[in-house]
Structure 1
Amino acid sequence: MSPSRDGYRDADPGHPVTDGPGTWPDRDEPLPGSARADLRLVAPALCAWAVAWAVLAVPHPIAWGIGAALGGLAAWGAHRKRWLLAGCALVGLSSAVCALAQTELVGTSLLAQAGRDHAVVEVVATVRSDPREFGARAGLPPAAVVRVSVQQAQIHGQTSRLRVPAELVASGDRRRELMALGVGQRITVLGKASEPSDRTRATAARIAVSSAPRILAPPGPLDTVLNRVRAALVSSMSASTPEQAGLVPALVVGDVSGLSSSLEADFKTAGLTHLTAVSGTNLTLMLIFVLSCARMLGVRGWALRTLAFPVVIGFIVLCRSEPSVVRAAAMGLVALAATGRRGVGPPGLRQLSVAVWVLVLADPWLARSWGFALSAAATGGILCWAGRWQRRMRRWAGAWLAESICVPLAAQIATQPLVTALSGSVSMSAVAANALVAPFVGPVTVLGMAAGAAGVVLPSVGVALGWLAGWCAETIILVAHRAADLPATTLSWPATPLAVMVLCAMCAALAWLIDRLIARPLLCLLLALAAVGACLWRPQPPGWPDDWTVISCDVGQGDATLVRTGPTTAILVDTGPEPDAMAGCLRNSAITRVALLVISHFHADHVGGLDGVYRVARVDAALINPLASPVREAARVRETLAGHATPMRSAAAGDRFGVGTASWQTLQAAAGAAGTAGGAVKDGVGPTGGEGESAAENDSSILGRISVPGLSVLVTGDMGASAQRIALASGLDLHADVLKVPHHGSADQDEDFLAATGARVALVSAGKDNGYGHPTPRTLARLARHAMTTARTDQQGDVAVRQLGEGRLQLVSRR
Structure 2
Amino acid sequence: MGELRLVPAALAVWAAAACAIVFGVRAAVVVVLLCAGIAAVWRAWGQMLMVAGLGAASTIMAWLRLRTAHRWDPAGEIAGTVAGAPKQIASGGYLVRVQVAGVPSPTPVFTDEVPDGVVAGASVVVRGSVSESGAAGVNPYAVNGTVQATGPPEGFARLALHVRETFAAAVERTVGDHAQGLIPGMVLGDTSLQSAGEQQAYVDTGLSHLSAVSGANIAIVTAFAAVLAAAVGLGLRGRVVASTSALLLYAALVGPDPSVLRASVTGLVGLTAVLASRQSEPVHALCLAVIALVLIDSDLAVHYGFALSVAATAGIVALFPLLYRALAKTGWPDILVRALAVAVAADVATMPIVALMAGRVSLVSVVANVLVAPVTGPVTVLGLAAAVCSLAPGGMEAVPLFIVEPLARWVRFVADVGAGLPVATINAAPLYVLVVYGWFLAGVLCGRPRMTLAVAVVCGVVVVKQPPPVEQDHLRAHVVATKDDVEPVPPGTQLVVVLEHGRPHTRPVVTDQGIPVIFPNRDGVATIYPDGTQVLPRRAF
**1:67 matched to which residue of 2?**
29
Aligned counterpart in structure 2 of residue 167 of structure 1, from 103, 108, 119:
108
Aligned counterpart in structure 2 of residue 50 of structure 1, from 12, 15, 26:
15
The answer to whether the Cα contact below 8 Å between 1:78 and 1:86 also exists between their aligned partners in 2 is no
- 1:538 and 1:77 mapped to 2: Cα distance? 47
**1:132 matched to which residue of 2?**
87
Determine whether 1:181 maps to 2:181.
no
**2:50 matched to which residue of 1?**
87
The answer to whether the Cα contact below 8 Å between 1:74 and 1:90 also exists between their aligned partners in 2 is no
Change (3 A) 1:766 1:402: closer
The answer to whether the Cα contact below 8 Å between 2:95 and 2:108 also exists between their aligned partners in 1 is yes
The answer to whether the Cα contact below 8 Å between 1:128 and 1:149 also exists between their aligned partners in 2 is yes
**1:539 matched to which residue of 2?**
463
Aligned counterpart in structure 1 of residue 128 of structure 2, from 165, 185, 191:
191
Query: 1:246 deviation in Å?
Result: 0.6
- 2:225 and 2:453 mapped to 1: Cα distance? 31
- 2:475 and 2:223 mapped to 1: Cα distance? 42
Letter matched to residue 267 of structure 1? Y
Determine whether 1:373 maps to 2:338.
no
1:685-704 paired onto structure 2 within 5 Å: none
Query: 1:97 deviation in Å?
Result: 0.6
SS, match of residue 376 in structure 2 = helix
Query: 1:503 deviation in Å?
Result: 3.5
Change (3 A) 1:507 1:86: farther
Change (3 A) 1:426 1:81: closer
- 1:185 and 1:264 mapped to 2: Cα distance? 25
Query: 1:303 deviation in Å?
Result: 2.6
**2:437 matched to which residue of 1?**
507
Change (3 A) 1:635 1:375: closer
Aligned counterpart in structure 2 of residue 107 of structure 1, from 70, 73, 78:
70
Aligned counterpart in structure 1 of residue 263 of structure 2, from 328, 337, 355:
328
Query: 1:263 deviation in Å?
Result: 2.2
Change (3 A) 1:99 1:609: farther
Aligned counterpart in structure 1 of residue 142 of structure 2, from 166, 188, 206:
206
- 1:487 and 1:87 mapped to 2: Cα distance? 50
Change (3 A) 1:169 1:266: closer
Aligned counterpart in structure 2 of residue 448 of structure 1, from 380, 383, 393:
383
- 1:475 and 1:539 mapped to 2: Cα distance? 30
Give the fraction of aligned pairs with identical amino acids, expressed as a percent: 25
| Higher share in helix | 2
Aligned counterpart in structure 1 of residue 179 of structure 2, from 211, 219, 244:
244
1:180-329 paired onto structure 2 within 5 Å: 180-200=117-137, 202-203=138-139, 205-210=141-146, 213=148, 215=150, 217-238=151-172, 239-292=174-227, 294-296=229-231, 298-299=233-234, 301-329=236-264
**2:341 matched to which residue of 1?**
406
Unaligned runs of 5+ in 2: 478-488, 499-504, 532-541
Determine whether 1:148 maps to 2:98.
yes
SS, match of residue 478 in structure 1 = helix
Letter matched to residue 66 of structure 2? T
For each residue in 1:375-434, what CA deviation from the matched residue of structure 2 results, as whole angstroms up to 9, or x when unmatched? 111111111121344456568565533432221221111222222223334433211211
The answer to whether the Cα contact below 8 Å between 1:124 and 1:188 also exists between their aligned partners in 2 is yes
The answer to whether the Cα contact below 8 Å between 2:159 and 2:255 also exists between their aligned partners in 1 is no
Change (3 A) 1:89 1:636: closer
- 2:506 and 2:375 mapped to 1: Cα distance? 31
For each residue in 1:45-78, what CA deviation from the matched residue of structure 2 results, as whole angstroms up to 9, or x when unmatched? 212211111110124xxx1474388479869987
**1:470 matched to which residue of 2?**
405
For each residue in 1:597-637, what CA deviation from the matched residue of structure 2 results, as whole angstroms up to 9, or x when unmatched? xxxx9654723999xxxxxx9899x9xxxxxxxxx979986
- 1:534 and 1:286 mapped to 2: Cα distance? 39
SS, match of residue 106 in structure 2 = strand
SS, match of residue 16 in structure 2 = helix
Change (3 A) 1:388 1:187: same
Q: How many residues align?
A: 508
SS, match of residue 501 in structure 1 = helix
Query: 1:99 deviation in Å?
Result: 0.5
| Higher share in strand | 1
The answer to whether the Cα contact below 8 Å between 1:237 and 1:470 also exists between their aligned partners in 2 is no
Change (3 A) 1:37 1:281: farther
The answer to whether the Cα contact below 8 Å between 2:348 and 2:437 also exists between their aligned partners in 1 is yes
- 2:12 and 2:493 mapped to 1: Cα distance? 41
Letter matched to residue 183 of structure 2? V
TM-score normalised by length of structure 2: 0.79
Change (3 A) 1:134 1:205: same
Larger Rg: 1
RMSD: 4.1
- 1:80 and 1:641 mapped to 2: Cα distance? 64
Query: 1:245 deviation in Å?
Result: 0.8
Query: 1:88 deviation in Å?
Result: 2.6
1:563-642 paired onto structure 2 within 5 Å: 572-573=472-473, 604=492, 606-607=494-495, 640-641=517-518
SS, match of residue 120 in structure 2 = coil
SS, match of residue 410 in structure 2 = helix
The answer to whether the Cα contact below 8 Å between 1:604 and 1:633 also exists between their aligned partners in 2 is no
The answer to whether the Cα contact below 8 Å between 1:428 and 1:531 also exists between their aligned partners in 2 is no
The answer to whether the Cα contact below 8 Å between 2:312 and 2:345 also exists between their aligned partners in 1 is yes
Letter matched to residue 97 of structure 2? R
Letter matched to residue 262 of structure 1? G
Letter matched to residue 301 of structure 2? A
The answer to whether the Cα contact below 8 Å between 1:143 and 1:170 also exists between their aligned partners in 2 is yes
**2:321 matched to which residue of 1?**
387
- 2:446 and 2:31 mapped to 1: Cα distance? 45
Change (3 A) 1:189 1:487: closer
Query: 1:247 deviation in Å?
Result: 0.8
SS, match of residue 169 in structure 1 = strand
- Using CA pairs under 8 Å that are at least 6 residues apart, name the structure with larger relative contact order, 1 or 2: 2
- 1:190 and 1:88 mapped to 2: Cα distance? 44
- 2:299 and 2:142 mapped to 1: Cα distance? 17
Change (3 A) 1:576 1:190: closer
**1:458 matched to which residue of 2?**
393
Change (3 A) 1:263 1:301: same
Unaligned runs of 5+ in 1: 1-35, 115-120, 152-160, 518-522, 545-550, 554-559, 562-571, 578-600, 611-616, 623-631, 649-658, 661-764, 768-815
Determine whether 1:356 maps to 2:321.
no
- 2:300 and 2:282 mapped to 1: Cα distance? 21
- 1:421 and 1:309 mapped to 2: Cα distance? 35
Query: 1:101 deviation in Å?
Result: 1.0
Change (3 A) 1:401 1:164: closer
For each residue in 1:641-677, what CA deviation from the matched residue of structure 2 results, as whole angstroms up to 9, or x when unmatched? 47x98479xxxxxxxxxx99xxxxxxxxxxxxxxxxx
The answer to whether the Cα contact below 8 Å between 1:428 and 1:491 also exists between their aligned partners in 2 is yes
Determine whether 1:438 maps to 2:373.
yes
- 2:36 and 2:456 mapped to 1: Cα distance? 49
The answer to whether the Cα contact below 8 Å between 2:12 and 2:35 also exists between their aligned partners in 1 is no
**2:351 matched to which residue of 1?**
416
Change (3 A) 1:528 1:322: same
**2:537 matched to which residue of 1?**
none
